[in-house]
Amino acid sequence: MQAKRLLRDFSAVLALLLIGGVFAALSPEFLSPRNLSMLMIELSTTALLALGMFLVILPGHIDLSVGSGVGLIGGIASVLVFRHHWPAPAAMLLAAGVAVAVWTAMGSIVIKQKMPAFIITLGGLLVFKGLFWLVIRNATVPVSQGGTSNLYSLLTTYYLPPAAGLLLAAAAVAALAWQELRPAAGPERRRDGASGVRPARRPAAAQEGRDFELRFLGVFVSAQLLFLFVLVMNRFRGVPLPIVILAAAALAVVVLTEHTPFGRYLYAIGGNEEAAVLSGIPVDRVVISAFAVMGAVTAATGFLQTAYAGASTTTVGELMELDAVAACVIGGTSLKGGRGTALGVLFGALIMATLLNGMTLLAVSPEFKFIARGLVLSLAVWLDTRLNKA
């Protein structure tokens, strides 16, 4: 059991090191500041969508419509901005509102009508794809700079000035240190992905000192890695704006899942829905809310992906739902629900983004890219099944 837990906890890190090492050996350009900056932008779209998928999978559901939704919502905003000359903020706000409303409706159908999320969202995949093509009229809608549209295209073309990146890193380290090194007060939440809360036991002075040293070491290592990341990004153009958006979203998901009743409800529903109902958890409202958040995340991903592609075309968002699911499972999230962490999802998304970036750098043909993504997804599900057997 201990071996299985260690394998589950560290398999993502080992896989990332192995994949990165292979690509670095095959192409020295892989570790260049420019390519790493591009990798971070690609990671942002995959990881952002995976974080939303994480919230839907935790209570035991799944969403196969998000890839088509990314294209549709990005297409709606693009058409409003570049064909009807709407201000970019207004167009994006309207498109995001549409996404939240549609995903809330899908969640309501799943819960109220007792329909499998797999079937409802599979239907959504087809419907959204058709609507997307209708919205853009099967033609490319360029996302160009200039005028009010500049705010749209800047989503993936703006980089923080070097000083601003370092200042942001310092603020993040200070916040992490305050969270990890302050004296514990009241109940402490378990960090093993479970939903329960247990009272903190007052350790002996020696044990308390060792715990503080471990926490301090974790903060110190995290600070070193964070500043190293910023310095590497500054060697190209600076920290890309998408990675800042991803960091804010990841922080929000961590707080939501680990420090709020809503997050504990998600874990409880995924662990045992019947027990959650009997304990008074508002299962219907929680699951519908998770789908609503998925809609907001899909909208944000749609804007980023469309801006990064430089145009709204029929291929935007294609198969992104599979990458999001793979990132969750690789990161340790159970497809049955009830287990997983946001940090694990980020590692899983980084593995997927690194794999695609490295294959693109090596000019791997699209056929083999599809094969690699399919194999990774299949392997991730197989590992999830094997590691969760009783």
pLDDT of amino acid 204: 60
pLDDT of amino acid 187: 45
Give the pLDDT of the chain (390 residues) as one tens digit per residue. Answer: 555 555 555 667 787 888 889 999 998 899 999 999 999 999 999 999 999 999 999 999 999 999 999 999 999 999 999 899 899 999 999 999 999 999 999 999 999 998 999 999 999 999 999 999 999 999 999 887 555 456 788 888 899 999 999 999 999 889 888 877 776 544 444 444 444 444 445 556 666 777 778 888 888 888 999 999 999 999 999 999 999 999 999 999 999 998 899 999 999 999 999 999 999 999 999 999 999 999 999 999 999 999 999 899 999 998 899 999 989 988 889 888 888 999 989 999 999 999 999 999 998 888 888 898 888 878 877 776 776 664
pLDDT of amino acid 5: 56
**13: Cβ–Cβ under 8 A, 6 or more apart, which residues?**
347
Round to whole Å and give the CA distance between 324 and 54.
8
pLDDT of amino acid 188: 44
Residue 83 · residue 141 · CB < 8 Å: yes
Q: Which two tokens stand for residue 251?
A: 């922080």
Torsion angle defined by CA atoms of residues 82, 38, 66 and 134, in that order, rounded to the nearest 10 degrees: 30
Which of 143, 160, 293, 283 minimizes the C-alpha distance to 233?
160
Q: Which two tokens stand for residue 294?
A: 């998925």
pLDDT of amino acid 197: 46
CATH numbers and ranges of domains, the chain? 2-158+240-387 (1.10.3470)
Residue 245 · residue 300 · CB < 8 Å: yes
Round to whole Å and give the CA distance between 242 and 296.
16
What DSSP line would sit under 21-80, residue for residue?
HHHHHH-GGGGSHHHHHHHHHHHHHHHHHHHHHHHHHTTT---S-HHHHHHHHHHHHHHH
Positive or negative, the Cα torsion across 367, 369, 375, 378?
Answer: negative
pTM over 0.75: yes
Round to whole Å and give the CA distance between 195 and 257.
9
